[in-house]
Chains A and B, each alone.
Chain A
Amino acid sequence: MKDLLRRWLLTFLCVGGFLIGTSAAASEAPTIKYPVPPPGDYNGDVVEQPIEFPHDIHTKVNKINCLYCHTYGRRSKVAGIPPTSKCMGCHRVIATDKPRIQKLTEYWEKRQSIPWKKVHDVPDFVHFTHERHLKKFIFDNEDLVQNLSVDTVAPVCAACHGDLREMTVARKVKPMTMGWCVACHEANGGPGDCWKCHK
């Protein structure tokens, strides 16, 4: 009889403790709203770039915000490749001994622009603008803007580009087909008018 009671007590404590623990954990979770990603994946091939740029090091290790380099994205339809001057801004001093960086410096000294290869592209009859998407999902997203960092921004970019924090050179991991875009627009309340995207 006694031990029965004790067993009850024990279970009660365990359950209770668990409940409290979980609720606490729940309250700690970030509450930023992110775009509902449309279903569908794509296994893009690894593109060989003139310089094997390590996105992971820059974002995951050095915590550099995506928009620091791809800065055009918030003012233009294209996110753009950062100008070489921007790379040199840091790499005049940082990691100058690495072969990749030496290659970079070489381009810079020859005053040549680096022939990057395009990985993500839409057909020419499609009008896609980064600035509108970034505005909606980043800059109009209050609690995201509150704590703006690579880890809060990257998930937004990830919706179309995959999580670059896990890649060296970018790889295409989303289908980027019309059906896929439409699904996303329906899920996140994007415009449904053909001429919004077709030109």
Chain B
Amino acid sequence: MKDIAIHSQEKDIREDLPWKQINTDILRSLDNPRRGYWYSIIVCLVLLAIGFTAEVIQYQTGMGMSKNHPHMWNLYIATFIFWIGMSHSGTLLSAILHIVHADWRKPIYRFAEAMTTFSLMTALLFPVIHLGRLWNFYWVVPYIPSRGTWPNFRSPLSWDGFAIMTYLTSSALFLYIGMLPDLAIARDNTTGWRKQLYSTLSLGWCGNDRQWRVFRKAYMLMAIFLIPLAVSVHSIVSSDFAMSINPGWHVTTFPPYFVAGALYSGCAAIITLFILLRYYFRWEEYMTLPILEKICKLTFAIAMMWTYLNLVEFASVWYGHDVYGKEVLWGKMTGAYAPAFWSMMFFGSVLPFALAFRSLRRHIPTMMAVSILLNVGMWLERWMIVSPTLSQSFYPWSWDVMWPTLTSWAIVLGSFGWFGLLFLVFVKIFPSVSMYEVKEMVYHRKLATEKAAARVGGAAPAYGAHMKKEDAV
């Protein structure tokens, strides 16, 4: 991929960026963002307030505020899956792309990881919110109980607990480790409380050889550890459904299907945030269009994968000749949920083709709109997994369509506020573009261009060995 960057007409990043300027540009994000940033903060606060009030009411009066028989799960679980999914792309970008040495990830993986961590923290709220007696949620945790009672290790719900907590801790750790060198830089360029904060956090990083070597190893290890973990987490979440006997849930393709969906929504979210940050902090220099294009291409690929898995699922239901399953699928397509279902199909499988056109890919407003719509589609997907099955399960007598109540909508909105707030505060306090890796990137660029120049001028290069290597590539 590196050499794609070299030979393409446009550069992912200017190779003549002085490292000093990089520091100043990035650290600028810590004090003076555009006004838009503050507006976003306010919006998030408002959403959060709405959600919180709704939750309080629900807590006081009971789950009747948001559910009905037989719809025991609804918006909350759908949104839960949505947020879990959102978390996956962070790992994808930083870990997988790190392992395959894709340089273009460097300016953008940091906020992606932050997104991972925060969306997990958001997701974690929902299983608790949807409990009938949420004040007892800790009974799911296997603490040594005075009453001799244990959680049910056979229940996917308790697996969820373990999986998500593991993922949360490790991805948070990953984010932190990756930040160490930058924290050091921040420490050296700031004053006041920030200086203190960064000096404690940077754990005395002074950038000597040994530190770098250990750091590289640790970072690589975490990356390798995270990839299977991320996959397993969403597979486990999918087993909440796949392990049940309900038509439309009891599907073997769910784990990959969920993972694909997860990466999909994650990438879309990255596009959105990419554009936002680029705007907030005037980072046109770093978050360049070529990089945006690359994410878009990636997203497109994943979109196609998702579409394929969707079709596989439908096909298997269709050929499976399971009456119940068929009826659920047919109900989705034609019944009360049809609008939601078809708009999901449109946003999820048709809209992504916008990403196939260069002109569109480079048009920021369009990409903004598209990326958001993609996520709307993915949210609908989650809802279309949860609700229709509950609406027409095995037992016709209890068939019932259900539309979410205001309360549940409010709480879902609130979750977006919560996520947004966490994220915005993060980018204001920590360097959300990895300075040291951008420097690396610039350096790689420089080497490449020198090589190109050398090839034109024929002057003897300074370091032949390396050059040869470059040639060989």
Q: How far is the CB of A41 from chain B (nearest CB, A)?
A: 15
Mark out the residues of chain A between 119 and 152 whose CB falls within 8 Å of any chain B CB in the assembled complex. Answer: none
- Residues from chain B with a CB closer than 8 A to the CB of A182 are 147-148
Cα separation A182 to B148 with both chains bound (whole Å): 7
Indicate with 1 or 0, residue by residue over A174-190, a CB within 8 angstroms of chain B CB atoms: 00011100100010000
Total A-B residue contacts, Cβ distance less than 8 Å: 11
B147 / chain A contacts, CB cutoff of 8 Å? 177-179, 182
- How many angstroms between the C-alpha atoms of A178 and B139 in the bound complex? 15
What is the bound-complex CA distance between A177 and B148, given in angstroms? 12
Give chain A interface residues in 142-199, CB to chain B under 8 Å.
177-179, 182, 186
B146 at interface, CB cutoff 8 A: yes
- Cβ-closest chain A residue relative to B145: A179
**Chain A contact residues (Cβ within 8 angstroms of B): what range?**
under 10
Nearest-Cβ distance from residue A107 to partner chain B, whole angstroms: 41
- A131 smallest CB distance to B (angstroms): 25
CB-CB nearest in chain A for B148: A182
Residues from chain B with Cβ under 8 Å of A177 in the complex: 146-147
- Say how far B243's CB is from chain A's closest CB, in angstroms: 23
A49 to chain B, nearest CB (A): 31
B146 / chain A contacts, CB cutoff of 8 Å: 177-179
Distance in angstroms between the alpha carbons of A26 and B78 in the assembled complex: 71
Contact with A along B123-166 (1 / 0, CB 8 A): 00000000000000000000001111000000000000000000
The answer for the CA separation of A182 and B146 in the assembled complex, in Å, is 9
A193 CB, nearest partner CB in chain B, Å: 13
Return the chain B residue nearest A181 by Cβ: B147
Residues of chain A contacted by B145 (CB below 8 angstroms): 179
CA–CA, A178 and B147, complex, Å: 6
Nearest CB in chain B: distance from A179 CB, A: 4
C-alpha spacing A182/B149, complex, angstroms = 10
Complex interface bits, B196-226 against A, C-beta within 8 A gives 1, otherwise 0: 0000000000000000000000000000000
The complex places the Cα of A179 from the Cα of B145 at a distance, in Å, of 8
Chain B residue nearest to A182 (CB atoms) is B148
User: How many angstroms from the CA of A92 to the CA of B147 in the assembled complex?
Assistant: 48
Q: Which residues on B sit within 8 Å (CB–CB) of A178?
A: 146-147
B147 shortest CB reach to chain A, Å: 4
CA distance in complex: A179, B147 (Å): 4
User: Cα distance A30–B147 when bound, in Å?
Assistant: 34
- A196 and B166 CA atoms in complex are apart in Å by 37
Q: A183 to chain B: closest CB distance in Å?
A: 8
| Residues from chain B with Cβ under 8 Å of A186 in the complex | 148
**In the complex, which residues 71-94 of chain B have their Cβ closer than 8 Å to any Cβ of chain A?**
none
Whole-angstrom CA separation of A118 from B148 in the bound complex: 28
Q: How far is the CA of A186 from the CA of B148 in the complex (A)?
A: 10
Residues from chain A with Cβ under 8 Å of B148 in the complex: 179, 182, 186
Q: For residue A51, give the distance in angstroms from its CB to the closest CB of chain B.
A: 37
Q: Find the A residue at minimum CB distance from B146.
A: A179
Residues of chain B in range 213-258 having any CB-CB distance to chain A below 8 Å: none
Report the nearest B residue to A179, measured CB to CB.
B146
Q: Taking the nearest CB of chain A, how far is it from the CB of B152, in angstroms? A: 13
Distance (Å) between the CB of B151 and the closest chain A CB? 14
- In the assembled complex, 11 residue pairs joining A and B whose CB atoms fall closer than 8 Å, in A order, are A177-B146, A177-B147, A178-B146, A178-B147, A179-B145, A179-B146, A179-B147, A179-B148, A182-B147, A182-B148, A186-B148
**What 4 A-B pairs have minimum CB-CB distances, sorted nearest first?**
A179-B146, A178-B147, A179-B147, A182-B148
A residues bordering B, Cβ < 8 Å? 177-179, 182, 186
Q: Told that A179-B146, A182-B147, A182-B148 touch, could you supply 8 new A-B pairs with CB distance under 8 A? A: A177-B146, A177-B147, A178-B146, A178-B147, A179-B145, A179-B147, A179-B148, A186-B148
